[in-house]
Amino acid sequence: MAVLTLILLPIVLLALGTPIYVALIAAAGAGLLATGSAPIDAVHIAMFGGLDNFPLLAIPLFIFAGEIMGRGGLARRLVEWALSIIGGVRGSLALATIASSELFGAMSGSSVGCVAAIGRLMVPALKGRGYDSAFAGSLIASCGSIAVIIPPSIPMIIYGIAAQQSVPMLFLAGIVPGLLIGALISVYLLVYARIKVIPLTDGMRWENIWATTREAVWSLFAPVVVLGGIYGGIFTPTEAAGIACIYAIFVAHFIYHELSWQDIWQTALDSALLISQILIIVAAASAYSWLVTTSGFPAKLVGLIADQHLQTWLILLTINVVLLFFGSVLEPPAAILILTPLLAPMMQQAGVDQIHFGIIVTVNLAIGLFMPPFGLNIFATHALFGIPLPQLYRGIVPFLVIYLIALALITYIPAITLFPLRLMH
């Protein structure tokens, strides 16, 4: 009865359109009453306990930093710099979108922030250069997902907390997968541009590269500060997020002069709204995952699968399908906090490295962000640029296929994620 309450109740509530956090709190409360293992006050304790976590502080800080970078001119200069280098190649504008998304992700770790910041610059430019609106919107929706794979990554921070794994090691493991996905999409963009005969942009000129590099040097230095500080042992990922905020404000206000103090205050208010939506889900999911763990359900699930004597590759395939499904209907923080207590013990039993599994989880949920019909990036692109949803659903298919190919490579070739860790050691 308790298992049915924990699994079926949230699914039914979500299907009825109930907000995610309400469904999770209701399931936790009903499950606690069904098991009778603790007083109902335990739900409140678990919720606030889930938020009382120092590494979790990195999430609001990185979101705020990303918003400042998007509005303060840092993102625009990254785009101009990337375009100056790639210019003259057919499809260079689309390639610059990929490069800018990778760089923006290395500064902020926010997917929707990447869609907003890079999309506002690139979607109108892409449409003006011969790309149809469906392609432009689909490209930016899928590129936004790279921002949660390339470190620093908010889902990796949450997974590290939930699975008690090293966040810096997860960041290190995410570098090659993020670059791999960018490379695969770039190949497709080059072929697409040649088939569609997309007009050439201005050719590469050293004076342009020098001018844009001089303008973008402060933007390009942001990932060096954030990631260099983490791997140099200067500060933790949470402290790095705080440094990113200070750096972004300093550059946007004092160097580029694009944000006044009033603009920064408004950005803080807008960021707080987004942060509150994420953290209330984290709090609710903490209570739910605590009850799932204490109910003994993960241990029973692991035992059930172990009794089937499935091969590791088949277990991983099944897990990927499950993660893709949940990633398409839940936001990454909720999906990670709900599923990690269930799946991590199973992966450990199957001999899968927990850091490697964290990257598998992250890539799956990144795909879910633009997977039809409920992908968050699709809705963000639709809201920002007015592109009809049916067009986005059709346009997203090639990018979805590319991500799934990358997911298969990452899943079944652990060296893609673990090689940087071994190199570091």
User: Collapsing DSSP states into helix, strand and coil, what is residue 209?
Assistant: helix
pLDDT band for 390, please (50, 70, 90 cuts): confident
Residues 148 and 154: beta-carbon distance below 8 Å: yes
Give the range with max mean pLDDT: 143-147, 226-230, 286-290, 395-399. 395-399
Residue 315 one-letter amino acid:
I
Check pLDDT > 60 for residue 1: no
Share of the chain above pLDDT 70, in %: 89
CB count in 10 Å sphere of residue 220: 16
First to last CA, the chain: 47
Structure tokens at 386: 């007015």
Could you report the per-residue pLDDT of 173-196, keeping only the tens digit for each?
Answer: 999 999 999 999 999 999 988 888
Could you report the per-residue pLDDT of 8-25, keeping only the tens digit for each?
Answer: 777 777 777 777 778 878
* C-beta pairs of 95-101 under 8 Å, 24+ apart in sequence: 95/186, 95/189, 95/190, 96/122, 97/122, 97/126, 97/139, 97/140, 97/143, 98/143, 98/146, 98/182, 98/185, 98/186, 98/189, 99/182, 100/75, 101/140, 101/143, 101/144, 101/146, 101/147, 101/182
DSSP assignment letter at 198? P
Domain count for the chain, please give it. 1
Which whole number is the average pLDDT over 28-52?
74
State the maximum Cα–Cα separation within the chain, in Å, rounded to a whole number.
Answer: 72
Could you report the per-residue pLDDT of 359-383, keeping only the tens digit for each?
Answer: 999 999 999 888 877 677 887 788 7
Helical axes 167-196 vs 133-146, angle rounded to 10°: 160
* Placement of tokens 């893609």 in the chain: 416
Buried b (16+ CB within 10 A) or exposed e, 79-102: bbbbbbbbbebbbbbbbbbbbbbb
Residue 406's domain comprises 2-424
Burial class for 356, CB neighbours closer than 10 Å (0-12, 13-18, 19+):
buried
